[in-house]
Amino acid sequence: MAKEEWNRKFSVIVLIVALLLSLSALTRVILLLSTHASGVSVTQFAGSLFIGILYDLSVASFAIIPFVLHVWLQNNFIYRRSVMPFVCLFFAGLLALLLFTNIVPKDYNTDVYNILIYYIAARFVIYLFLFFMPYSFRIRWRTAILYMSMTLVVFLLLFNAVAEWFFWQEFSTRYNFIAVDYLVYTTEVLGNITESYPLVPILSIVGVLTIVIVFLLRKQIRASVISPSPFVRRSAVAISLLLMPLLAYYATQEKWRHFSRNEYANSLAGNGLYEFAVAFTQNELDFYKFYQTLPDVTAFRLLRKQLETPNSHFVSNDPYNIEREITYTEPERKLNVVLISVESLSASFMHAFGGNENITPYLDSLAHHSLLFTNLYSSGTRTVRGLEALSLSIPPTPGQSIVKRPDNGHLFSLGSVLRSHGYTTQYIYGGYSYFDNMKEFFGHNGYSVIDRSAIPADQVHYQNIWGVADEDLFDLSLHVLDQDNKAGKPFFAHIMTVSNHRPFTYPDGRIDIPAARQVREGAVKYTDYAINKFLRDAQNKPWFDSTIFVIVADHCAGSAGSVELPVTGYHIPMLIYAPKVVEPREVNTLTAQIDVAPTILGLMHLHYRSKFFGQDVLHMPADKQRAFISTYQGLGYLRDGKLLVQSPVKSIHEYLADFKNGNETAVQVESGLADEAIAYYQSISWLLRHRRQEE
């Protein structure tokens, strides 16, 4: 066999790599030419091209994986009539295994399970069809599959190049967390793209170019099918190529592209697909790059002014230090604390906030015996954002919650404060705590993490993909708290419920809404039932009278609206119940979710050093009331009935907030309010970047 003939076996791999490298280089040239006054020198651009090739090769190593497998494993042997019955039987057996056994639990992930079933069924049907076709047709089929796969890859590479150009025109950078956000909010984003760009002509042009390129390369593509190659030699090449993605994953560093002081040059050095993957894993958006800023010293001066209260004083004159000594005239009370963060509990579900569906009968009753906070707003729209606010007491930073970011340990938290005062501190979750990085985050921030794996299987009444039923979670919590009490130390437990989450399933016979209906109203009412059962059981415990129970939502059930940040989509309830400690009343102070932790510590009159951005609402001066609401990009600041929203790219808008319907009326931006909002968000970004928010 001629060496040239053997080399042609992997020609399709060479084509993909060459096409990706060429398109990436051309993209860099076009992006540079489209950027006015970029300041990129010839030397810097040369550096961008050189470093960019390293990222391009890294991406290419992943792009070629399915083609390497196809060239390696697909051969004429399996298409012989004597062999194909065994191939059909293999896929039929695999399909039966999945359909009629529990080897893959059907409720583990419905979408993934269905995709797997459809894929295997399709393979079975295809091979069964090919069995009745002539041998020559089966070989042509292999070629057709390779043509279709190549067409798809070429189309995606061309479309990505076009998408990168549009993204660059809007944000002057490669893909980042905004692009990840686009993937998260697919419906809204696709609608926006359709309205903003001539999508049909663009797709048509990309489609035509794809067909032309594949047609011109047809001989090389076909060569990968018809060129002979011994299996051993083919395996050696294939395995070597499949090791490349592993090498790229561990060797390629995102920091390589930051080689100059010109950010345009640094961005050009990147690869859009690589940067997208980095943003997806790091989930962070640089505040200084995408939002309006103040001089850092000015931002901290404004922040320190906002954090001044009669019962606190700063421990340092360092302008970038917000640490304060918090004191109370009353003696400290070493009370136990049980913080229950309830999944997706909108204020509108409760009768006290206008709800009329009677789905929170117990909480409505408990409200008359508790501190009821009527003007509280969640930081965001996801559980991890609520957990961040409740534990760290910091404003939401752009991008993903700190809970899901890397290197997020040893931060100043409610757990670290109470642990320093001799408390046992725990996070108890009804699901598996690896979800949303909870175990990593809480485990490295002063909490012992306890999840559903601590519950014996015979003690689980009900479970779904998210975790055990809330009553099982609370039974576990009672057991843990009993053990804490026996240890003779005060305890703090943060309990996170899971039942009020799609698919809204729960045990039968608990409430008057049948579980089979699978509606949110039933899930909410079941959680209300479970909280009632938990507190009734807790009343019989020796530690009940010396415990503060805090019931608060992590976020609302929904935040959709006709405006970017509808305030009604962030309005959540909070009840603080401690019949031997707290006098019942309504608290109408404007409250941010980040104020919950300092308010709990204030009820105990605890003396501590604070790095919290939140404040004790029960001792907050009237002129310091404000709240924070956000999406991944939009950073909202509520104050005096107005909502100021900061967005990329360096955009600020101010609205009169409609607290009844969630509408907004645009008004002229007040510089004082804008500076105040910027100060909060910029300061926390600075502190996290410089690791000054650690305990």
Q: What is the pLDDT of residues 448-458, one digit of tens each?
A: 999 999 999 88
Region for residue 172 given its phi and psi (left: phi exceeds 0; alpha: psi -120 to 50; beta: otherwise): left
Kindly state whether residue 64 falls inside one of the protein's structural domains.
Answer: yes
- Six-digit token string for 660: 């009844």
Any known ligand binding at 343? yes
Same domain (yes/no): 175, 254: yes
* pLDDT of 389 strictly over 50: yes
* pLDDT of 692 strictly over 70: yes
Spacing of C-alpha 362 from chain mean position: 32
Amino acid sitting at position 628: F
Reduced to 3 states, what is the DSSP secondary structure of residue 388?
A: helix
* pLDDT of 491 strictly over 50: yes
Pair 135, 82: CB distance under 8 Å: no
Same domain (yes/no): 550, 429: yes
CA distances from 228 to 81, 219, 225 (A): 20, 15, 8
Q: What is the CA radius of gyration of the chain?
A: 29
CA distances from 47 to 50, 110, 176, 272, 393 (A): 5, 47, 21, 17, 43
Kindly state whether residue 515 falls inside one of the protein's structural domains.
Answer: yes
Reduced to 3 states, what is the DSSP secondary structure of residue 585?
A: strand
Of the pLDDT bands very low, low, confident and very high (cuts 50, 70, 90), residue 597 is very high
Kindly state whether residue 122 falls inside one of the protein's structural domains.
Answer: no
Same domain (yes/no): 344, 487: yes
DSSP state of 675: H
CA distances from 498 to 233, 381, 492, 505 (A): 53, 15, 20, 10
Range 119-126, long-range pairs (CB < 8 A, 24+ positions): 120/91, 120/94, 120/95, 121/95, 123/91, 124/88, 124/91, 124/92, 124/95
Please give the torsion angle defined by the CA atoms of residues 185, 190, 193 and 194, in that order, rounded to the nearest 10 degrees: -160
CA–CA separation, 619 and 243 (whole Å): 61
Q: Which of 628, 56, 695, 648 is nearest to 306 (CA)?
A: 628
Same domain (yes/no): 356, 226: no
Kindly state whether residue 118 falls inside one of the protein's structural domains.
Answer: no
- The whole-number average pLDDT for the span 498-518 is 86
* pLDDT of 139 strictly over 80: no
Of the pLDDT bands very low, low, confident and very high (cuts 50, 70, 90), residue 594 is very high
Region of poorest pLDDT, from 219-223, 268-272, 329-333, 614-618: 219-223
Any known ligand binding at 555? yes
CA–CA separation, 287 and 285 (whole Å): 6
Of the pLDDT bands very low, low, confident and very high (cuts 50, 70, 90), residue 374 is very high
Same domain (yes/no): 259, 326: no
Kindly state whether residue 581 falls inside one of the protein's structural domains.
Answer: no
Total domains present in the chain:
2
Same domain (yes/no): 395, 533: yes
Same domain (yes/no): 551, 596: yes
Any known ligand binding at 101? no
Kindly state whether residue 398 falls inside one of the protein's structural domains.
Answer: yes
Q: What is the pLDDT of residues 204-262, one digit of tens each?
A: 999 999 999 999 998 888 888 777 777 788 888 889 999 999 999 889 988 898 898 78
Same domain (yes/no): 542, 611: yes
Q: To which H or E segment does residue 628 belong?
A: strand 627-630
Sheet holding 608-610, edge to edge: 312-314, 324-326, 608-610
Q: Which of 263, 272, 259 is nearest to 39 (CA)?
A: 263
Region of poorest pLDDT, from 320-324, 635-639, 664-668: 664-668
Sheet holding 651-657, edge to edge: 627-630, 635-639, 642-647, 651-657, 664-667
- Six-digit token string for 527: 């959680």
Of the residues 253, 282, 311, the one at which a domain ends: 282
* pLDDT of 7 strictly over 80: no
Same domain (yes/no): 627, 601: yes
The CA-CA-CA angle for residues 523, 529, 530, to 5°, reads 90
Any known ligand binding at 501? yes
Report, as residue numbers or ranges, the catalytic residues: 383
Any known ligand binding at 186? no
Kindly state whether residue 95 falls inside one of the protein's structural domains.
Answer: no
CATH code, domain carrying 636: 3.40.720.10
- Six-digit token string for 612: 């919290």
Q: Which domain holds residue 371?
A: 296-568+589-689
Kindly state whether residue 128 falls inside one of the protein's structural domains.
Answer: no
The end-to-end CA distance of the chain, in Å, is 68
Same domain (yes/no): 480, 389: yes
Of the residues 282, 307, 342, the one at which a domain ends: 282
Same domain (yes/no): 234, 352: no
Residue 655: CB atoms within 10 A of its CB come to: 21
Q: What are the strands, taking DSSP E only, across 378-453? A: 424-429, 448-450
Same domain (yes/no): 314, 166: no
CA–CA separation, 569 and 41 (whole Å): 48
β-strand partners of 495: 340, 428
Pair 189, 177: CB distance under 8 Å: no
Of the residues 282, 310, 335, the one at which a domain ends: 282
- Six-digit token string for 688: 């996290």
β-strand partners of 493: 338, 426
CA distances from 443 to 236, 439, 440, 498 (A): 44, 5, 5, 19
Q: What is the pLDDT of residues 268-288, one digit of tens each?
A: 999 999 988 887 776 677 899
- The whole-number average pLDDT for the span 563-571 is 85
CA distances from 483 to 420, 488, 541, 542 (A): 20, 9, 12, 12
CA distances from 222 to 15, 228, 295, 464, 509 (A): 12, 12, 61, 48, 63
Burial (CB count <10 Å: 0-12, 13-18, 19+), residue 448: middle
Q: What is the pLDDT of residues 403-426, one digit of tens each?
A: 988 889 999 999 999 999 999 999
CA–CA separation, 263 and 40 (whole Å): 9
Reduced to 3 states, what is the DSSP secondary structure of residue 517?
A: helix
Q: What is the pLDDT of residues 85-127, one digit of tens each?
A: 887 788 788 888 877 776 655 544 455 567 677 777 877 887 7
β-strand partners of 592: 377
